[in-house]
Amino acid sequence: MIQVDKVRVIDENGENLGVMYTREAIEQANEIGLNLVEVSPNADPPVCKFLDVGKYRYEAQKKANAARKTQKTQEIKEIKMRPNIDSHDYDVKMRSVNRFIEEGDKVKITLRFRGRELSHQELGMNLLKKVQEDVAEVAKIEAYPRMEGRQMLMVLSPK
């Protein structure tokens, strides 16, 4: 409820009705079947408007839903490789990486080590450095290469 004794009133069509007593403004709003809603409390005197609160909430909800529909969520796509990947396979994977980044998604590159490959982690590091150089103009590294158990991970995000 409004605590001030005088408020500036705007009618339902957006026209300024001037400054009037709060009680009087509430009565006028009730006569036309609307509510008196405080729009800008920090003004002097506070600004109030004749509104249908249900309709106002409905419109606000519609705007929020429209905004949610248009926004794109950023997903994390994963590309799995092995340290001794063939050059053609590497090219195919890199095309996928580039496509994901152009679509605005993050890309998590996972290098899987099996058996004795684990003792040659420098091969994995070299491969991830090559990936980093190949996508340098379109992506930046969000998470630098790190080992997690038997796999090495790196996350790229669009620039």
Give the pLDDT score at 4.
Answer: 58
Tell me the whole-structure pTM to 2 decimals: 0.57
Q: Which domains does the chain have, with CATH numbers?
A: 6-69 (3.10.20.80), 76-158 (3.30.110.10)
The series of mean pLDDT values per 10 residues for the chain, 159 residues long, is 74 88 89 88 88 87 88 86 93 94 92 90 91 91 91 92
Give the pLDDT score at 107.
Answer: 94
pLDDT digits over 82-104, tens only?
Answer: 999 999 999 999 999 999 999 88
Instruction: Please return the burial class of 134, using the count of CB atoms within 10 Å of its CB with bins 0-12, 13-18 and 19+.
Output: middle
Name the residue with tokens 């679509």.
103
Give the pLDDT score at 2.
Answer: 45
- 75: Cβ contacts below 8 Å, ≥ 6 apart: 105, 106
